[in-house]
Amino acid sequence: MSRFGNLGGKLYRGEASYDFVGRRKLWYGVTLLLMLISLVGLGARGLYMGIEFQGGAVFTTPPTQMSIEDARETAQEVSGTEPRIQELGSGALRIQVTGLDNEQSEKTRAALAEELGLETQELDTELVGPSWGDQMSSKAIQGLIVFLILVSVYLAIAFEWRMAVGAMGALLHDLVVTIGVYAIVGFEVTPGTVVGVLTILSYSLYDTVVVFDKVKEKTRGLLKQNRHTFGELANLGINATVVRSVNTSVVALLPVAGLLFIGTGLLGGGMLKDISLSLFIGLTAGTFSSIFIATPIVVDLKLRSPEIKAHDRRTLAKRAKGGDGAEDAEETGESAGTGARPSAEPTAAAAGSVGGPRSPEAGSRGRPSGRRR
């Protein structure tokens, strides 16, 4: 088995762990920094909305030797607007000019056809009105609101309201970071981008629910034991699923990266690139948020409960006094897994003077060591 596989097994069994919850202030700081950079980029540069949202014309040439610079100069000189040009896999050019009406579109088409040495009718032209993009944006926002409401209700019923809040916080991070990357880098926002963003929200939510399910399993029976605090058990839940989350994300990112870096190079731009680009950014952000944001938010909200506060105080006080907790460990062995193994030996040693487990010498007094024949 690989080292990574061995590490995953140790994390799942609780033989090794990383304190995700204990370092949650660090993750909050990283999250706020990423969101701040994204919002500043969005405010400073804005989003480059595709032609479907602004309206305009798209000219597609046959395979040509015309350079991108020549096509840009010709289109800009006639239309007065800087075009966005993309070279397709076949050697054709896709020239996109926003804000053109019918008359301007025909003039630009004629100028490009003349530069290419073609008849005007041989240059494929598509005129797009902004109303279609506006309608799609409106429908997407409505669908997003309904989606978030239904998800919040489901999580509140299936788990609890604190987990619904944690999941919404993670989704907010994914949305802001994805939109911020588009703004900072200058990626074009198209209908494919909208589809991709809605898809990554579903993926991020799925990954978060998997972590929540393990946290719920680990913290079941919390008040029946005084060996672990709520945060410690929640941390065991994250550790038990972190390798699974990373593996799932890598497996999901590989085909998306193939579509983005290989598929678009062979097939050119278009809907394929738009969807894969938003998926690649969002899947990466979603993996981070499901591990480092969602559960820490739940822990902070849970620690405001008087019942949980009192339990954690009793647990820490007992630990400070060198309490044994052996009986508690038996009661919570199933719910906490083997997460207590790293601390079992020092705890027992510290509790030796208060009625801990009997020593091996005392346990073997008067008994033969071999089997009875």
Range with the lowest mean pLDDT among 39-43, 195-199, 268-272, 335-339? 335-339
Bridge-based pairing state of the strands 124-128 and 56-60: antiparallel
Residue 251 makes CB contacts below 8 A (sequence gap 6+) with none
Q: State pLDDT tens for residues 22-41.
A: 999 999 999 999 999 999 99
Sign of the alpha-carbon dihedral angle for 42, 48, 53, 56: positive
In which residue are the tokens 């804000």 written?
Answer: 99
Q: Which residue has the tokens 């593996």?
A: 247
CB 241 within 8 A of CB 211: yes
Contact call for residues 260 and 268 (beta carbons, < 8 A): no
Supply angle C-alpha 197, 82, 46, rounded to 5.
35
Six token digits for residue 54: 């602004």
Q: In what order do the strands lie in the sheet with 93-98?
A: 84-87, 93-98, 56-60, 124-128
Rounded to whole angstroms, the Cα distance separating 360 from 339 reads 25
For 52, 243, 301, 359, the CA distances from 351, given in Å and listed in that order, are 71, 35, 33, 12
The reported pTM is 0.73
For residue 189, give the nearest of 260, 278, 317 by alpha carbon.
Answer: 278
Of the candidates 90, 123, 88, the residue with the CA atom closest to the CA atom of residue 108: 123
Picking from 284, 220, 291, 293, the residue whose alpha carbon sits closest to that of residue 257 is: 284
pLDDT, mean of residues 109-113: 84
Give the list of residues 6+ apart from residue 77 with CB closer than 8 angstroms, or none.
111
Band (pLDDT 50/70/90 cuts) for residue 133 is: low
Q: Compute the distance between CA of residue 201 and CA of residue 158 in angstroms, rounded to an integer.
A: 19
The percent of residues above 70 in pLDDT, for the chain, comes to: 78
CA distance 174 to 280: 12
pLDDT range class, residue 67, cuts 50, 70, 90: confident
Burial class (CB in 10 A: 0-12, 13-18, 19+), 172: middle
Q: Which residue has the tokens 């944690």?
A: 166
Please report the domains of the chain, with CATH numbers, ordered by start residue. Answer: 3-49+132-302 (1.20.1640.10), 56-128 (3.30.70.3400)
Question: Residue 87 is inside which H or E element, if any?
Answer: strand 84-87
CA trace torsion 105, 111, 115, 117 (10° rounding): 90
Least reliable range by pLDDT among 14-23, 262-271, 276-285, 347-356: 347-356
